[in-house]
Amino acid sequence: MRHALLVSVFIIASCGLAYELIAGALSSYLLGDSITQFSTVIGTYLFAMGIGSWLSRFVTRDLIGRFIQIELMVGLLGGFSAAGLFVLFTWLTAPFKLVLYLVVFLVGVLVGLEIPLVMRILKRDLNFKDLVSQVLTFDYLGALMVSILFPLILAPHLGMVRTGLLFGLLNAAVALWALHLFRNQLAAHQALATQCWASIAVLAAGLAGAGQLTTLAEAHLYADEIVHAESTPYQRIVLTRWRDDLRLFLNNNLQFSSHDEYRYHEALVHPGLANLPWVKRVLVLGGGDGLAVREILKYPQIDSVTLVDLDPAMTKLFSTAPALTTLNRNALTSPKVTVVNADALQWLEEYPESFDFVVVDFPDPNNFALGKLYTAAFYRLLEKHLTPRGRLVVQSTSPLYARQSFWCVVTTLESVGFKVTPYHALVPSFGEWGFILAGREEFRPPEQYPVPTRFLTADTTPALFHFPADMARVPAEINRLNNQVLVRYFEQEWRRVLR
């Protein structure tokens, strides 16, 4: 019996950490700024566990029965937490944070009650020294197991909703196992058995219908028909379609609309590349959709394009799905293109060669994992991979809606010695969007484009480099690894826009 309870400690510790990770990951997906979300969720959860441990002193009778009921409550609340929060976010965004932290607090209180009750049940079989060491050992081992499995297997393959319900079932199974172990000591055995089986049935039904629940919630979240959705270790990928308009969302953020993406990608690539006829080797960082690569391959003198994108699911999708390969004109399967799935910063640190032209097409810096790719340290590393006359271009969010963020990127590029030329273009899906060209030499805008374009012309190019008063330069700090000021700018500015 003692060993069975210690195994139960392992399971309930695993479940408790799983609910904490689910809440942190889900809030990061939906709200951005992963460090803030994880920090506040973990802090709230640990505080609540302390409250639960303190409250356990008031449980004085029927310890086993109370332990079984707490397990069922944890299983139901924690198990359905991801599903409930996801549905709440899609229908009622305003109270989401309040409910999120309330759920985290309640789960934390219940988890905080569990271990003290188990220790009090076990104290009849173990002396205090062995009791503490064995319970805490199994507790920490359970936490270790989930911390490894969650990012590698659970989140990418099961998703948040199914993972929550799976661990809810494990909590209910522990309750049922405890009911069996102590069946001769429980006066209310029949009532507890009914509660256990009812909880298991509800959780199992939720697990069976998790796919439909997620589809229903996402159908409300996205205005158009969802034609593809998947969770990877790095992000949530959703493709929607309305008539002939395909839209890509990463973690609920629009990345492109097929109706006007050509404006963005022409503006990203051609102003910097059009007057560099000597360019042979090109590097694209991010841009796993292959749309920037499509524009680059219009230049016949280019011998090779290396695309570095973190998520293999992204590059596979845009290499194989017919509607998407039509959009990017099979750019990712071109013999000139090499696709590398790796973290861009780590790859640059290890890769020794240089490039004539670099396209930096990362998502906006809405969290610190992305913010590091806009820092002075990253640009200093990137500079080492440019040939002497080489040039790079960086997508740099909106100079209208996120004005200080845009000029922060300019300031950061200048801080490492680049001569920079900012510009902007109107992309209807996004509004005014900003780009920055950088190199060791002064930039001269192209007088013509040697390849076919739908948006850019020689006559309209000068306007790209003119900033009206509401987008003119404003003071901004350098974005460094140790301060990540750009993420703070970005969060503040876009929060004002979206109110």
**Catalytic (active-site) positions:** 361
Structure tokens at 202: 């509800």
Q: How far apart, in whole angstroms, are the C-alpha atoms of residue 395 and residue 271?
A: 13
Q: DSSP labels for 118-133?
A: HHHHHTTTS-HHHHHH
Burial class (CB in 10 A: 0-12, 13-18, 19+), 241: middle
Structure tokens at 300: 């016949």
Q: Are strands 253-257 and 304-308 parallel, antiparallel or unpaired?
A: unpaired
Burial class (CB in 10 A: 0-12, 13-18, 19+), 442: exposed
- Phi and psi at 96, nearest 5°, equal -60, -50
- Strands in 245-250's sheet, in edge-to-edge order, are 225-231, 236-242, 245-250, 253-257
CB 224 within 8 A of CB 242: yes
Q: How far apart, in whole angstroms, are the C-alpha atoms of residue 83 and residue 214?
A: 8
CB 256 within 8 A of CB 292: no
Name the H helices within 182-320. 189-208, 210-221, 261-273, 291-296, 312-320
Q: What CA–CA distances, in Å, run from 87 to 30, 83, 164, 172, 368?
A: 12, 6, 14, 23, 26
Q: DSSP labels for 249-282?
A: EETTEEEEETTTHHHHHHHHHHHHHTT-TT--EE
How many Cβ atoms sit within 10 Å of the Cβ of residue 55? Answer: 14
Q: What CA–CA distances, in Å, run from 122 to 70, 119, 184, 225, 385?
A: 17, 5, 17, 54, 62
